[in-house]
Amino acid sequence: MADTRIEESAELAAFRAEARAWLEANASPKTGVDDWSTQRHHVDQDAMREYFEQCRAWQRKLFAGGWAGISWPSEHGGRGGTSDQVRVFKEEMAAFDVTSGFLDATIAMLGAALRFCGSEDQKRHYLPRLLSAEDAWCQLFSEPGAGSDLAGLAARAVRDGDHFVVNGQKVWNSMAQFADHGFVIVRSNPDVPKHQGITFLLVDMASPGIEVRPLIQANGAGHFNEVFFEDVRIPVENVVGEIDGGWAPTRVVMMAESQFIGGGGADPVTPRLTEMARRLGLADDAGVRQELAACHTRELLLKLLSEAMMQAVRQGDDPPVSGGVLKLFTAESRVLFGNLATRLLGPAATADADPDSEWAQLALINRFSVSIGGGTNEVGRNNIGERDLGLPREPRVDKDVAWKDVPRG
């Protein structure tokens, strides 16, 4: 991808050089052929566990080297750096065969919730352990009856002395089978409107009464899980924010998730697609060229928009676009990339097992994951309409109605 860097200061250039030197000493460059960081050999649970542990080992190495949580304050285990430094490190790391995988997402989500809503004790205890991957976390939000309408959730928490006793079911919980801890939202007060009776809890996944059942996908991998709670006792001190006020940290998590996904990787896909088109003799195909140009334009725009957002944050200005816009743009781009990868390879995209085909299979299978995970495109558009464009809010039949009185299927 063309270099879009604008006037890099001498200080930032020195940071870039330091980052590159550390990466060269601690990681192998990507070869584009059999990179574990992009091929994701997720063919069964053992392979997934191995991959997860590889990601965890890399996060530990980053932490030990002082490169985890670059913009986090040092008292929470971070480097106390700037958002520009975060971007630069991501750009440099993209050339190396390393990733923290899903850990990165939970660090962004739970890190934000704890920093904005956690107690001082929680920040001191959990943040460095989160950043160093000493603890691996999973997000326990969605339920069979609560996805887009997350605030309608039904997992029930009843206070019993200095514990909450939780019963219910969560679903689509990424990597919950490997996580040590989870952040879970529960219905602690059914007698008030849905957003007002939710509590946000931190739970040890080894607690008696928790059962994790992987959901095996068509390719044999089990990225997602169902998580069942039966009389699980969670200490009241594990509440993040206020009891019954869990919607506040939940919103922080959702915003951080949207920004995390929308911020995208610094690892562009178009060069790989372009190289593939050349190798397959399709570089002069008019249709392929149109699509490659569209992919390139999207990646460039996303990068520039992310940078403009970071610059605004740095200057204390309003961001030029909301995180939701970036997430939507990323989701639509992923579909384009997956479709083009399969179009380039033709039947080989599904039948062959060489690295290009494996990569294309993943790009195809996973192309809608961003369109659903972290909130669907449709709900994202509703939010953009209401929050960014000031359109009338969607009609709500459950407003001001106690959760227990809202009809449910």
Question: What is the 8-class DSSP label of residue 275?
Answer: H
Dihedral of the CA atoms 311, 314, 317, 322 (nearest 10)? 60
The residue range among 118-126, 172-180, 317-325, 339-347 that interacts with ligand FAD, by the rule CB under 6 A, is 172-180
Q: Between residues 126 and 183, which has the closer beta carbon with respect to ligand FAD? A: 183
Question: Beta strand 210-215 with 224-235: parallel, antiparallel or unpaired?
Answer: antiparallel
Site string for ligand FAD, 128-147 (x = CB under 6 A): -----------xxxx----x
CA pseudo-torsion sign 152, 188, 134, 41: negative
Binding residue count for ligand FAD, defined by CB under 6 A: 18
Asked if residue 373 binds ligand FAD (CB under 6 A), the reply is: yes
Of 108, 379, 384, 401, the residue at the interface with ligand FAD (CB under 6 A) is 379
257: annotated active-site residue:
yes
Distance (Å, rounded) from C-alpha 148 to C-alpha 82? 34
Contacts of 176 (CB under 8 A, 6+ apart): 138, 140, 170, 182, 205, 212, 225, 227
Asked if residue 330 binds ligand FAD (CB under 6 A), the reply is: no
Q: Between residues 148 and 350, which has the closer beta carbon with respect to ligand FAD? A: 148
Contacts of 205 (CB under 8 A, 6+ apart): 138, 176, 179, 180, 181, 182, 212
CA angle in degrees (0–180, nearest 5) for 55-135-106: 65
8 Å CB contact between 325 and 389:
no
Q: How far is CA 320 from the centre of its chain?
A: 22
From the list 257, 291, 299, 358, the catalytic residue is 257
Q: Give the 3-state secondary structure of residue 168.
A: strand
Distance (Å, rounded) from C-alpha 387 to C-alpha 348? 44
Q: Between residues 227 and 277, which has the closer beta carbon with respect to ligand FAD? A: 227
Among candidates 127, 230, 141, which has minimal Cα distance to 184? 141
Distance (Å, rounded) from C-alpha 289 to C-alpha 23? 34
Q: For 218, phi and psi rounded to 5 degrees?
A: -60, -30
Of 172, 178, 247, 337, the residue at the interface with ligand FAD (CB under 6 A) is 172
The residue range among 15-23, 64-72, 317-325, 374-382 that interacts with ligand FAD, by the rule CB under 6 A, is 374-382
Q: For 137, phi and psi rounded to 5 degrees?
A: -120, 155
Asked if residue 375 binds ligand FAD (CB under 6 A), the reply is: yes
Q: Between residues 207 and 369, which has the closer beta carbon with respect to ligand FAD? A: 369
Shortest separation between residue 142's beta carbon and ligand FAD, angstroms? 4
Asked if residue 148 binds ligand FAD (CB under 6 A), the reply is: yes
Of 60, 108, 382, 384, the residue at the interface with ligand FAD (CB under 6 A) is 382
The residue range among 66-74, 166-174, 278-286, 297-305 that interacts with ligand FAD, by the rule CB under 6 A, is 166-174
Shortest separation between residue 309's beta carbon and ligand FAD, angstroms? 23
Of 319, 376, 401, 406, the residue at the interface with ligand FAD (CB under 6 A) is 376
Which amino acid is residue 218, in one-letter code? A
Q: Which residue is nearest to ligand FAD (CB)?
A: 147
Asked if residue 174 binds ligand FAD (CB under 6 A), the reply is: yes
The residue range among 191-199, 235-243, 303-311, 369-377 that interacts with ligand FAD, by the rule CB under 6 A, is 369-377
Q: Between residues 85 and 177, which has the closer beta carbon with respect to ligand FAD? A: 177
Shortest separation between residue 33's beta carbon and ligand FAD, angstroms? 26
Asked if residue 378 binds ligand FAD (CB under 6 A), the reply is: yes
Asked if residue 39 binds ligand FAD (CB under 6 A), the reply is: no
Question: What is the 8-class DSSP label of residue 143?
Answer: B
8 Å CB contact between 72 and 256:
no
Q: Which residues pair with 228 in a beta bridge?
A: 169, 211
Q: Give the 3-state secondary structure of residue 200.
A: strand
Asked if residue 260 binds ligand FAD (CB under 6 A), the reply is: no
Active site residues: 257
Q: Which residues bind ligand FAD (CB under 6 A)?
A: 139-142, 147-148, 172-174, 369, 372-373, 375-376, 378-379, 382, 394
